Amino acid sequence: PKPGVPHAYFADITEMAGWSDVLVAATSGGAETAHLISAAALHALGPEGCFINISRGSVVDEAALLDALESGRLGSAGLDVFMNEPDADPRFAALPNVVLYPHHASGTVETRDKMSQLVLDNLAAHFAGQPLLTPVN
């Protein structure tokens, strides 16, 4: 926490979920964030809570998420990403308290234009013998 910042700070995701009405996962995927949103965090969010995942499917324990949604321990969810894309668990689609989006949160005209320009800029840099703007290891 930073001194003088008027916002609540939580070192623990489960504690933060208990304080929240809506919990949005917007983090990178990988080993460090796998199942960051656990059964305990979903339970803490509660039957009136809403979980939204716009990060990576691995960030949430999907089995725990399905269980929480089906049992009413979690109120609702909005999912843009899934553990096994494009084969999302079909049980999500059957739930009335879930909104599914096909991993398309960045699908705006402006974003696609910028993505296209970045590809062109990287190609120009490559063929000019210059470093890429966004190298991938």
DSSP 8-state class, residue 60: B
Q: Render each residue's pLDDT in the chain as its tens digit; 137 residues.
A: 678 888 888 999 999 999 999 999 999 999 999 999 999 999 999 999 999 999 999 999 999 999 999 999 999 999 999 999 888 999 999 999 999 988 776 778 998 899 999 999 999 999 999 999 998 86
Q: Which domain holds residue 123?
A: 106-137
User: Catalytic site residues?
Assistant: 56, 85, 103
Alpha helices for 4-88 (secondary structure H):
13-19, 39-45, 62-71
Query: Do 27 and 61 lie in a common domain?
Result: yes
Task: Find the CATH number of the domain harbouring 67.
Answer: 3.40.50.720
The pTM of the full predicted model, rounded to 2 decimals, is 0.77
The radius of gyration of the chain's CA atoms, rounded to the nearest angstrom, is: 19
Query: Do 67 and 116 lie in a common domain?
Result: no
Q: Could you give the number of structural domains in the chain?
A: 2
